[in-house]
Chain A
Amino acid sequence: MSEIHEPDAPQSTSDMAMTGRMDVSAALEGVDISETVSNIVFDLANVRVFYGDFEAVRDVTMQIGRNEITAFIGPSGCGKSTLLRSFNRMNDLIPGARVEGLLAYHGFDIYAPDVDPIEVRRRIGMVFQKPNVFPKSIYENVAYGPKVNGMKVNMDDLVEECLTRAALWDEVKDDLKKSAYALSGGQQQRLVIARCIAVKPEVILMDEPCASLDPIATAKIEDLMKELAKDYTIVIVTHNMQQAARVSERTAFFTADVDANGVRHGRLVEYGPTRRIFTAPHDPRTEDYISGRFG
């Protein structure tokens, strides 16, 4: 997988020669979709995220559609992970973090004073950059979420169902009592996905889920994402533009503005159907980024 920062990478030669643009067309799949999002799950209006006095993300307005995969791309420090973590109020855990503007989930402001973050997180699951399995058995990792949420289910069936959906069952069905630490990195990440869907969320947020995985494990996770998108709404932060092109329906490109004091603030530059963003970006900054001229 060639990174965007290497314009001389062999696979991009043909396209590069003519347009100077990275060749992601091979990875682009599916049909053209409308610029407007129907079936809105998240509706963001002028969302700003602060850490104390520092404004990490300024003024994001966008909509995220149901059963779609939405990718957030952009250079490091552009606030895309910060924004993602405000979708399920994980930013609450960082002292001094606060969100302004309207971040609505099915029309309900998730930062309204009477909203319980616990309930938000149960509906909006999260997969982290580093596979953070619990120091417990494979079975207990999956069963943990339903247990703490008091779900009355047949646990054995649920564990099997979730591991199957996460494409991990065949590899671990004889080792359910083994420590999750015995699994490889790619297996651990699929276990984390199984653990996440066990609480039956509607949305899965993924914060660079393949950053610590090799290409084969990455391919498995990407296949899994496309499979899961039939039932779940997925928002993924990625540094890998090919990955965004391969899996997502819509792509949001973020960048960082440097203000007069040299402080970087993340902002949304352009958002639209992935195919359009990669083939006909409206904003020159998007064009520069995806063609590898900066970032």
Chain B
Amino acid sequence: MTTTLDTAPDSAPVDLEGNGQPLVDKTFRWILFLCLAVGIIFLAVLLAYVTIKGWPRLTPTLWENMPSIRRPERAGAQSAITGTLWVIAFTALFALPIGFLGAVYMEEYANPASRFTRFVEINIQNLAAVPSIVYGILGLAIFARALALGQTVITAGLTLALLVLPVIIVSTREALRAVPQNIRHGSLALGATLWQTTWRQTMPAAIPGMATGTILALSRAIGEAAPLLLLGAVSFISFNPTGPFSAYTTLPIQIFNWTKESREEFQILASATIVLLLVILLAMNAVAILIRNRTQKRW
């Protein structure tokens, strides 16, 4: 360090270097970094393993061909892909309107101080933590048996809708809460009703946040296998679903069934399908992030 300024004649020396960075500080920094690294390394190894293993089968035959038990080297996952699309479309059809409107009630209409509201609020958060297999049991008992919908696309859609409903409600409420209060007051002060204010001001302003939460919730539903195993997704199916009351299989179920097979070709096929599923999920999450970044807070 060079000094260029004159100092007062009798000034005491100033120590600006201290004792350097303490050892504890450095150690802690490394521990934190290691924790992060463990997660990332395991994920990277997993991705690399399935990609390398499934590489020979990552060809158009994967989504062009139907599953086959006799010829795994030519089998594909088309019925699982279309099955996934059917199931997730019905999940969205049931979960989105109910989730959005439920959240609007909680956030815009319900009295936040009432006991009932707080009771519902706590229980929605609890529901989000219930294991998905429990939803499978519920769906089997109610939709498949009691309502006699059987082992169909619609049963799976309804069950997965119940599964993601708490997540959609919580994320929609957060999106609505992020809309400034003075937008609502501005609208109400003009003589708009609460419904007009919600429908024309609050909800349009909350759409980006709602879309992000919804996509993340649906991508969770796409990856679910446990409840569908209980609901009787078919393990081998060589045709695409034809409607809501058709039998179906989905990608996670197909992967699960192929990994049970002993022949090496099925293991390769399963790895390729895992890569396909991961690509779909990552693409959905990327869209969610894109929406969020595009529509950063305007206020």
Q: A93-B188, A118-B192 are in contact. List 11 more A-B contacts (CB 8 A).
A: A90-B185, A90-B189, A95-B113, A123-B191, A134-B186, A135-B204, A148-B191, A148-B192, A148-B196, A179-B298, A195-B190
- Interface flag for B3 (CB, 8 Å): no
Q: Is the CB of B189 within 8 A of A121?
A: yes
CB-defined contacts of B298 to chain A, threshold 8 Å: 135, 179, 181
**Residues 166-190 (chain B) with a chain A CB within 8 angstroms:** 180, 182-183, 185-190
Q: Is the CB of B111 within 8 A of A128?
A: no
CB-defined contacts of A93 to chain B, threshold 8 Å: 185, 188
Minimum CB–CB distance from A30 to chain B (whole Å) comes to 29
Distance in angstroms between the alpha carbons of A209 and B191 in the assembled complex? 20
**Residues 88-123 (chain A) with a chain B CB within 8 angstroms:** 88, 90, 93, 95, 118-119, 121-123
- Interface flag for B257 (CB, 8 Å): no
Known: A95-B111, A132-B180. A145 touches B191 (CB 8 A): yes
- Interface flag for A266 (CB, 8 Å): no
Distance in angstroms between the alpha carbons of A17 and B196 in the assembled complex? 57
Distance in angstroms between the alpha carbons of A133 and B204 in the assembled complex? 14
CB-defined contacts of A149 to chain B, threshold 8 Å: 190-192
Minimum CB–CB distance from B80 to chain A (whole Å) comes to 42
CB-defined contacts of B113 to chain A, threshold 8 Å: 95
Q: Is the CB of B192 within 8 A of A132?
A: no
Q: Is the CB of B187 within 8 A of A90?
A: no
Q: Is the CB of A135 within 8 A of B192?
A: no
Known: A95-B111, A128-B185, A135-B183. A122 touches B205 (CB 8 A): no
Minimum CB–CB distance from B204 to chain A (whole Å) comes to 8
CB-defined contacts of A90 to chain B, threshold 8 Å: 185, 188-189
- Interface flag for B238 (CB, 8 Å): no
CB-defined contacts of B188 to chain A, threshold 8 Å: 90, 93, 121
- Interface flag for A234 (CB, 8 Å): no
Distance in angstroms between the alpha carbons of A133 and B180 in the assembled complex? 11
**Residues 175-204 (chain A) with a chain B CB within 8 angstroms:** 179, 181, 192, 195-196, 199
- Interface flag for B112 (CB, 8 Å): yes
- Interface flag for A51 (CB, 8 Å): no
Contact of A135 among B185, B196, B205 (CB under 8 A): B205
- Report B's interface with A, CB cutoff 8 A: 111-113, 180, 182-183, 185-193, 196, 200-201, 204-205, 298-299
Q: Is the CB of B187 within 8 A of A118?
A: no
Q: Is the CB of B186 within 8 A of A128?
A: yes
> Lowest 10 A-B CB distances belong to which pairs?
A122-B191, A132-B182, A145-B190, A126-B189, A148-B192, A132-B186, A148-B196, A121-B191, A135-B205, A118-B191
- Interface flag for A276 (CB, 8 Å): no
Distance in angstroms between the alpha carbons of A9 and B254 in the assembled complex? 81
Minimum CB–CB distance from B18 to chain A (whole Å) comes to 44
Nearest A residue to B184 by beta-carbon distance?
A93
CB-defined contacts of B193 to chain A, threshold 8 Å: 118, 148
Minimum CB–CB distance from B173 to chain A (whole Å) comes to 18
**Residues 184-235 (chain A) with a chain B CB within 8 angstroms:** 192, 195-196, 199
Distance in angstroms between the alpha carbons of A107 and B133 in the assembled complex? 65
CB-defined contacts of B180 to chain A, threshold 8 Å: 132
Distance in angstroms between the alpha carbons of A95 and B114 in the assembled complex? 11
Nearest B residue to A128 by beta-carbon distance?
B182
Nearest B residue to A149 by beta-carbon distance?
B191
Residue of A125, A148, A195 most packed against chain B (CB within 10 A): A148
Residue of B183, B191, B193, B201 most packed against chain A (CB within 10 A): B191
- Interface flag for A239 (CB, 8 Å): no
Contact of B187 among A119, A125, A144, A179 (CB under 8 A): A144
Distance in angstroms between the alpha carbons of A130 and B180 in the assembled complex? 11
Interface pairs (29), CB distance under 8 Å: A90-B188, A93-B185, A95-B111, A118-B192, A118-B193, A119-B191, A121-B188, A122-B191, A123-B191, A128-B185, A128-B186, A132-B182, A133-B186, A134-B183, A134-B187, A134-B201, A135-B183, A135-B205, A145-B190, A145-B191, A145-B192, A148-B187, A148-B200, A149-B190, A149-B191, A181-B299, A195-B190, A196-B189, A199-B191
Distance in angstroms between the alpha carbons of A122 and B196 in the assembled complex? 14
Q: Is the CB of B189 within 8 A of A125?
A: yes
Nearest A residue to B190 by beta-carbon distance?
A145
Distance in angstroms between the alpha carbons of A18 and B182 in the assembled complex? 45
Q: When each residue 274-295 of chain A gets 1 if its CB lies under 8 Å from chain B and 0 otherwise, what string results?
A: 0000000000000000000000
CB-defined contacts of B201 to chain A, threshold 8 Å: 134
Residue of B112, B183, B186, B188 most packed against chain A (CB within 10 A): B186
Distance in angstroms between the alpha carbons of A246 and B205 in the assembled complex? 38
